[in-house]
Every structure is written in structure tokens, then in C-alpha cells.
Structure 1
Amino acid sequence: MKLRVLLTGGSGMVGKNLLEHPAIGEFDVIAPQSNELNLLDSRAVEAYLREKSPDIVIHAAGRVGGIQANMREPVRFLMDNLDMGRNIVWAAHQAGVKRLINLGSSCMYPRNYAEPLSEEMVLKGELEPTNEGYALAKVVTARLCEYIMREDAGYQYKTLIPCNLYGRHDKFDPSHSHLVPAIIHKVHQAKQSGQQAVEIWGDGTAQREFMYAGDLADAMVRAIREFDTLPVSMNVGLGYDYTINEYYQAAAEVMGYAGSFVHDLSKPVGMARKLVNVTRQQTWGWTARHDLREGIEKTYNFYLKEYQQ
């Protein structure tokens, strides 16, 4: 009999990439849409879990966005993510679901820390102000998972902490998008309209670690298969990063854009660097497969197909 997996956030980028994984057929996956399961309704969530009786819950749902969206709506990013996380984790506990994988975020880590961020550094410093509400919600949900295990070791609620992601099913609208899809959209628009230059926020020297979302899906499949060997908390990332200028340059090369770049030093850029430590991940035996050029190429092909018809 197949393992029954309840996936929240099946219509988001992470969820869709997981559902597209070539090995997902090994499992009986239930991935309700928001109109089928309102994660903001705690009673509805508990009733749904009791009805479906999954073997494992994967919490990948969340309200996500880039710097602009987080700065514009901090209350919504805090409240929605806090309520979703609390409701699904506690409902799983109340329904007797013994295994859960919670998706955290590298936003949980202290800001402006030059060295790779290891899992024990959560709550060891000030959070990045531009997405603090989202980060606080993710920290609380991860801590709730840990507290439940502390009180009853029969429950194994583990947290994966991905680095920044991009890929198929991403958001490309500049008002909601993260760095890489925003770059793809901006460079494509510039290429189509014959613009000679593309604007970059800040001086472009800030460093970011962005992993192709299909690679996170691969790590999640392995986490389901080998749940017992999965650490209680584990970063999922590349272990290396690029400057923002390098992301723009890679996108221009993949997309065939021959223009130049100009820097707007008045715009916010967030953290100077945010790189996760992948020691636990490497010990666990998993490594991301896509390099930057291959990931951007697959993402751009998706963008052309879905957004430029």
C-alpha cells in the first residue's frame, strides 16, 4: 500500500514542483486546493486531517513574496503564515499524525551574517526588517514542531529550511516576485522592447543563494522515503552563492539580451549576504543537481510558455 501524503500548498511553486517530480507516483498524495481546505480555519483543518488520516503531512503552503510585497503588507505576511503553520501542525498532532515535514525559510536566520548559516542559529540575532513578519511566522511554526516532539517523542515533526528558490510555477509579476523571476521578467521585457539598459536595485554586489525549485522537490521526495534518517531541522541549499549582478548577467546570457545594466543606489536590497550551511544536508547524502544556467533556462522556458502567449 502506498504511503498517504497530505500536501499543503499544492498550488504554489514548491507544491507544483513536488507534484511534477518523476517519482511522486510512489505515494498517494492528497493536495487540496484552498477552496477545499482553508488553512486559516483551525477546526476545518483538524476535521480534514481526521477524515483523510494521512501517514505524513508536508506543510509547504504559505503567503510568499519579494521585498516589495513584504514591505507593503507585513501584517498579512505575519498573520497568514502564522495561522497556517499553527493550524496544520497542531491539527496533525490532534489527529494523531505522527510524521510531518514543515517547510521553513532561510529568512528565519539573523540578518547580515557573513558566514554560512547553520540550523542552530535560528533566533540568534536580529531578523531582516524587510521580511520580518514572514520570518517570525516561520520561526514560530518550526519551534512548535520542536516543542511537540519535546513533549512526546512519538511525534516526529521535522523542518526543512530551503534557501531562496526560483523555477517553474514561479511568480513573475514584479509586485510579487523574488529576485530571479523578477530578473527574467525585466530582461525579457527589455529585450522585447529594445531597451538598451536594465535597472538593478542597489550596486548589485549583495550575494544570494537561489536554488532551482525542482531540486527542493527532489530533496522532499527523499525526505519522505527516508524520513527516519532526516535530521530534525536541515537546510536545503547549494552551499554557495552569486552576486545580484551575476544573476542578471546569467539571465542575459541565457535569454540573449545584449544591453547593459544600470544601478539605482536609492533602492533597498535586503541582506548583504544570506548563505545556508549545507553540512547536515551533505551528511544526509543529498546535493542539488541544477547549475544556475540550467535552472534559469528551464525557468525562462516556462515563462515563455505560460506568460507570453
Structure 2
Amino acid sequence: MRVLLTGGNGMLARSIADAWRDQGRQDELIPVTRADADLLDLVAVHEMMHSIKPDLVIHAAARVGGIAANVADPTGFLMDNLRLDSNVLSSAMESSVGKFIYFGSSCMYPKDYRQPLVETDVLAAPLEPTNEGYALSKIAAARYCNYVARQFGLDYRVLIPSNLYGPNDDYSLDRGHLVAAAIAKAHAAKTQSASSIDVWGDGLARREFTYVGDLAHWLVEHLDSISEWPSVMNVGKGEDHSVRDYYEAALATVGYDCELVTDPTKPAGMHQKLMDSSLAMDFGWRANTSLVDGMRQSYAGYLDSLER
């Protein structure tokens, strides 16, 4: 089996490639990056797909960012992801790719809806405005995968991870998600002997973060059962923590202590979006890495990135 993996330089794709090697899979994994093909270029994507002729596509590429990035450019997050996903999915169909794994996002779920969120809650109520553009693009692509599976009987499946973190994360403050940003800020505070760290919102919003290695290893181990998966599955840690908790964990990880100064005037997104991942647990899903261990490995990865 030939497997095409998009987003080859991203945190998730790199973790999947690592898990592939660790587990000694004999299938051919072909990670592709922007240097191989710009996924916003339909002709380039068609040529890549026809050249590789994959049996399975794992689509881990997306334009992603934190709250600040999404608020600043909702049009870009909507249209870039729509174009990117449309190019990859349409090219896969034209190349007769029979198996496809699409990664959705917990942003697809309604704002301040019931907890924990189940897969059928998508489109049940209005979305969180701060990342609505990104969420709409992910919902559209996920629905397309559902339609393909129903209409043509192909194994097009959607996995909805919680927020992910781990080595090779994006630690830039304008694009990074909560855990990566907290680690970067805590490290900067330590090196500068700062007395405080700024935190957007009141610090009480709760988020579910899953260590990326747990998802990657589960996916590689259970890839051969894709035909048995339901059309959509949540894959999350199953527990959440407040924004303040994550910042405190980041400070403990880097070995520093200072004041956390919250700013309630800044957007914090949904108050809570904990997911129910019991469907995936029927297929062996477990997120075993603790926040302490995951933070430690993430910080080690961050320090490595500073030396490169």
C-alpha cells in the first residue's frame, strides 16, 4: 500500500512519520511538503496525485493558527483551507484513491454547547465567532468525505482531534496554539527574569489538549481497520484544563515562577469544548501521555528548535 501524507513538515505529519518508523510498517509512506507541491495550486496537486498514485491519503495539511491569527484574518483561514482541501479531495477522487483520512478540528463544534461534545453535534448550533472561518472550511471538507463514503462506498473517514501539542509544534506567538504559546512565554519569562506573563481572557476557559504522539501511534497501529471506522470519530484526551492551568504547567516545566496577568478584554474563544471520544475507544484509542510528560517532551522540542 502506498500512503500519501500531506503537511509533511507539520507537527502531526512528522509525528505520524516517526510512528511509522517506530512501528516498522512495510507500507510505503510518502510525506509531501510545500516544496513538493503547493496544495493551493490545483494543477500541482493533480500532478502530484497522478504521479504518486496512492492507495490511501492521510491529509494532515491545513492553514492553522491561534485565536489572534484567526481573528486577524478570517477570510484567509476560510478560503485558503477551502481551496487546499478541495484540491486534495478532488484530486484524490479523480485518481481513484479508495481510502482517505481527513483531520477535522474541535472548532467544528458549536459555541458553548453541551459537554462533552459528540460527533452528531456538528452543525447543531452557531459556531464560535473567533474561528468561524476556519471551522466552516473544516465542516465543508468533512461533509464531503461523508458524502463520498455514502455515495461511492469508499473509505473516506474523518477524525476530529482535540487541540494537539508536542515536539515540532509552532511556538510563534502569532500562530501558535495555547500550549505552545504558554511554553514559549514561560521560557522567555525565565530567560528575561520577567515578573509576569500576559494571558488573553480571564484564564478560566477550558481546553482539551492531546499529546500528538498518542494520536500518531494509534493511527499508524490501527490504520488497517479504517473500513470498520464510523464516518466521523472524535480523538481527544478526554479531560480538559483551564487556560491558567496550562500556563502554570508551562511555568513548572521550564522551572520558573511569575505572575499570570489576565486580560478579560481580549477574546478567549469558547468557554469549554471537551469531546466525547468513546466511539474511537471502541477501535483502541487511548491517550496515555500525561500533561506533565507531554509538556516536558514539548519543551525539549522547543529548546531543540531554538538551537537549529
Q: Report the TM-score when normalising by structure 2.
A: 0.96
Correspondence 1:196 to 2:195:
yes
Give the gaps of 5 or more residues in structure 1. Answer: none
Match of 1:285?
284
What does residue range 1-309 of structure 1 map to in structure 2 within 5 Å?
A: 3-21=1-19, 22-23=22-23, 25-153=25-153, 155-308=154-307
Contact 2:155–2:226 (Cα < 8 Å) also in 1: no
Give the 3-state SS of the residue equivalent to 2:157 in structure 1.
strand
Contact 2:57–2:99 (Cα < 8 Å) also in 1: yes
Partner Cα distance (1:63, 1:72) in 2: 14
For the structure 1 residues 189 and 43, does the alpha-carbon distance in structure 2 shift closer, same or farther, using more than 3 Å as the test?
same
Contact 2:110–2:123 (Cα < 8 Å) also in 1: yes
**% same residue:** 42
Give the 3-state SS of the residue equivalent to 1:116 in structure 2.
coil
Partner Cα distance (1:36, 1:251) in 2: 35
Q: What amino acid sits opposite 1:189 in the alignment?
A: A
Shift of 1:34: 1.1
Partner Cα distance (2:24, 2:43) in 1: 29
Give the 3-state SS of the residue equivalent to 1:26 in structure 2.
coil
After superposition, the C-alpha distances for 1:193-235 in whole angstroms (9 at most, x for unaligned) are 1112222222211100011111121232134232222221101
Partner Cα distance (1:54, 1:129) in 2: 37
Q: What amino acid sits opposite 2:141 in the alignment?
A: T
Shift of 1:48: 2.1
Contact 2:78–2:136 (Cα < 8 Å) also in 1: yes
Partner Cα distance (1:301, 1:43) in 2: 39
Q: What amino acid sits opposite 1:202 in the alignment?
A: G
Partner Cα distance (2:301, 2:51) in 1: 36
Partner Cα distance (1:117, 1:58) in 2: 24
Shift of 1:44: 2.7
Q: What amino acid sits opposite 2:4 in the alignment?
A: L
> Number of paired residues?
306
Write out the 4+ residue segments of structure 1 that deviate beyond 4 Å after TM superposition. Answer: none
Q: What amino acid sits opposite 1:58 in the alignment?
A: I
Partner Cα distance (2:228, 2:189) in 1: 47
Shift of 1:114: 4.0
Partner Cα distance (2:277, 2:302) in 1: 30
Contact 1:18–1:24 (Cα < 8 Å) also in 2: no
Partner Cα distance (1:23, 1:121) in 2: 34
Partner Cα distance (1:251, 1:26) in 2: 38
Shift of 1:299: 0.4
Q: Report the TM-score when normalising by structure 1.
A: 0.95
Q: What amino acid sits opposite 2:39 in the alignment?
A: L
Shift of 1:111: 0.9
Partner Cα distance (1:24, 1:81) in 2: 32
Partner Cα distance (2:100, 2:83) in 1: 17
Partner Cα distance (2:226, 2:137) in 1: 24
Contact 1:49–1:95 (Cα < 8 Å) also in 2: yes
Give the 3-state SS of the residue equivalent to 2:282 in structure 1.
helix
Give the 3-state SS of the residue equivalent to 1:54 in structure 2.
coil
CA RMSD, 1 decimal: 1.4
Shift of 1:108: 0.6
Q: What amino acid sits opposite 2:6 in the alignment?
A: T
